[in-house]
């Protein structure tokens, strides 16, 4: 019996399928089955699968009688999977040859329910074969890579689930079955429920440390994609089901901090991303009239314990008309909290400046600009601003000249960042430079945990 089941739903995947199949069949780890579900393709997908199967009997082919979509196709593959571990991959992506070896090795070593790993998302085809490496800070390794953890071990903003995608995770099959996890039948966002519920249920999770990126997901919008047409309503339906099932399982109260921070941010991002004004308005009115209430109106939910910023977003949608456009000008999380608790940042920076410490800000995005504006209002000047974006280097903002990060590594005591994702990125870049990286959003929100 194979140890790993690779499940791959396919619809008109012929353009990239040969490369994807080779990427799996040429893995350094060989004890696997590759279950391909052909979802009524009308191109050469079927012929390609047959050709590859004749050469390698690890390929199992399932054919849907009618098109059912990626979610139900994955469910069908899961029902026949023989492996102890399961991973769900797509037929248009590129895989590092140690993907299965690394993830399966972590599952074996730590006996986890889920293994997370690094992926490069939405890479354009012309760049997808340029291999990337990954570095980790010692703090990240100690928190996430050396011992299993679960969602209750961290406050919401430090839990390392930054992607609802199914492809950058491996699962213990018995864990999936025991927790009754299934993919939804939605045109898009059909993996959100599965991924989120898995991480809420998992008792043991670990991050697979790898110097090489193990998965590259392709950015394209061709009609052949098995999940296409990113309707924001699908995301809301996924979160509705998640809330309903968590409540039914008596879990919602225990995970509400994690749930509502992400729920609110996802809704706002989907609203802003929708370029079709008719669809955007329909989605907004649905959220306003019933969608949000369906997710917060459970008896076990204590609204006073929901993160202030999450409630700010949800209230902003529920209490403002679509025509006001307020959702487009709502503050970011950092902007929201610096207005309320910015004095904490002032105290921290002033204390370090009095000690003659050199302090720079990393990144001149919307949040970095908000920080500079706040510091200027309080007559506080730091040592400088760095940004890796060459388009921003050389520009002048609040009398600072933005420079390349390379110039400051030997001269800086503190680097200020304004999000958790940037924090880990910068920590890995300066891990041997003796520089302390400070996440200011963490500083502002520590009382909210």
- Average pLDDT of the residues of the chain: 93
pLDDT at 120 over 80: yes
> What confidence tens digit (pLDDT) does each residue in 225-272 have?
544 557 899 999 999 999 999 999 999 999 999 999 999 999 999 999
- State the pLDDT at residue 300: 84
Which pLDDT band holds residue 433 (cuts at 50, 70, 90)?
confident
The CA distance from 12 to 49, in Å, is 12
Phi and psi angles of residue 290, each rounded to the nearest 5 degrees, phi first = -150, -30
- State the pLDDT at residue 229: 57
DSSP code string of 26-91: T-S---EEEEEEE-S--SSHHHHHHHHHHH-TTEEEEE-SS---HHHHHHHHHHH---SEEEE--T
Q: Give residue 386's Cα distance to chain centre.
A: 25
Answer whether 122's CB lies under 8 Å from 384's CB: no
Phi and psi angles of residue 213, each rounded to the nearest 5 degrees, phi first = -65, 130
Enter the DSSP assignment of 84.
Answer: S
Mean pLDDT of 389-399: 94
Phi and psi angles of residue 222, each rounded to the nearest 5 degrees, phi first = -70, 145
- State the pLDDT at residue 363: 94
Mean pLDDT of 64-71: 96
- State the pLDDT at residue 222: 57
User: What CA–CA distances, in Å, run from 331 to 42, 157, 226, 355, 371?
Assistant: 46, 17, 35, 33, 13
The CA distance from 97 to 88, in Å, is 16
Q: What angle do CA 182, 185, 187 make, to 5 degrees?
A: 130
- State the pLDDT at residue 230: 75
| 231 against 410, higher pLDDT | 231
The CA distance from 69 to 148, in Å, is 34
> What confidence tens digit (pLDDT) does each residue in 124-144 have?
888 888 888 888 888 999 999
Q: CB count, 10 Å around CB of 54?
A: 9
pLDDT at 448 over 70: no
Helix (H) or strand (E) holding 278: helix 277-286
The CA distance from 97 to 163, in Å, is 22
Phi and psi angles of residue 56, each rounded to the nearest 5 degrees, phi first = -150, 110
- State the pLDDT at residue 157: 80
The CA distance from 203 to 148, in Å, is 8
pLDDT at 449 over 50: no
> What confidence tens digit (pLDDT) does each residue in 302-350 have?
888 899 999 999 999 999 999 999 999 999 999 999 999 999 999 999 9
DSSP code string of 132-143: -B----HHHIII
Q: What percent of the chain has pLDDT over 70?
A: 96
Q: CB count, 10 Å around CB of 275?
A: 7
Which pLDDT band holds residue 190 (cuts at 50, 70, 90)?
very high
Q: Which of 240, 257, 351 is nearest to 295 (CA)?
A: 240
- State the pLDDT at residue 299: 87
3-state secondary structure of 49: helix
Mean pLDDT of 170-186: 98
Phi and psi angles of residue 285, each rounded to the nearest 5 degrees, phi first = -65, -35
Phi and psi angles of residue 361, each rounded to the nearest 5 degrees, phi first = -95, 135
Answer whether 151's CB lies under 8 Å from 258's CB: yes
pLDDT at 195 over 50: yes
What token pair was written down for 356?
Answer: 């003659």
Answer whether 181's CB lies under 8 Å from 198's CB: yes
Mean pLDDT of 383-400: 94
């Amino acid at each position: 019996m194979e140890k790993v089941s690779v499940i791959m739903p396919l619809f008109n995947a012929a353009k990239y399928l040969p490369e994807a199949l080779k990427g799996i069949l040429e893995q350094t780890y060989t004890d696997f089955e590759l279950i391909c579900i052909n979802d009524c393709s009308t191109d050469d997908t079927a012929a390609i699968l047959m050709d590859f199967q004749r050469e390698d009997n690890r390929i199992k082919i399932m054919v849907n009688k009618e098109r059912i979509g990626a979610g139900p196709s994955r469910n069908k593959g899961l029902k026949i999977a023989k492996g102890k571990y399961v991973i769900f991959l797509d037929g248009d992506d590129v895989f590092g040859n140690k993907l299965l070896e690394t993830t399966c090795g972590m599952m074996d070593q730590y006996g986890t329910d889920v293994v997370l790993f690094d992926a490069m998302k939405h890479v354009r085809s012309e760049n997808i074969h340029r291999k990337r490496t990954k570095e980790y800070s010692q703090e990240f390794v100690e928190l996430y890579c050396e011992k299993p953890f679960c969602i209750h071990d961290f406050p919401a903003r430090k839990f390392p689930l930054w992607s609802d995608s199914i492809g950058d995770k491996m699962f213990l099959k018995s864990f999936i079955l025991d927790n009754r996890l299934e993919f939804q039948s939605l045109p898009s966002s059909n993996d959100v429920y599965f991924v989120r519920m898995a991480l809420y249920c998992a008792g043991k999770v670990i991050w697979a440390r790898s110097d090489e990126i193990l998965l590259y997901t392709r950015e394209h919008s061709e009609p052949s994609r098995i999940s296409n047409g990113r309707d924001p309503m699908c995301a809301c339906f996924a979160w509705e089901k998640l809330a309903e099932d968590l409540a039914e399982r008596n879990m919602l109260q225990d995970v509400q901090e994690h749930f509502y921070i992400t729920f609110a941010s996802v809704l706002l991002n989907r609203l802003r991303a929708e370029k079709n004004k008719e669809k955007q308005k329909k989605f907004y009115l649905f959220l306003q009239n019933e969608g949000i209430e369906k997710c917060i109106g459970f008896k076990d939910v204590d609204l006073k314990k929901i993160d202030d910023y999450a409630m700010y977003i949800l209230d902003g949608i529920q209490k403002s008309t679509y025509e006001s456009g307020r959702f487009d000008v709502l503050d970011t999380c950092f902007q929201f909290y610096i207005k309320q608790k910015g004095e904490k940042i002032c105290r921290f920076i002033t204390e370090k400046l009095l000690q003659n410490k050199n302090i720079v800000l990393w990144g001149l995005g919307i949040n970095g600009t908000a920080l500079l504006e706040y510091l200027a209002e309080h007559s506080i000047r730091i040592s400088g601003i760095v940004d890796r974006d060459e388009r921003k280097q050389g520009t002048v903002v609040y009398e600072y000249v933005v420079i390349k990060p390379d110039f400051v590594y030997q001269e800086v005591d503190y680097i200020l960042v304004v999000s958790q994702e940037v924090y880990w990125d910068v920590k890995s870049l300066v891990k041997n430079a003796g520089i302390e990286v400070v996440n200011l959003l963490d500083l502002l929100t520590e009382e909210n945990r």
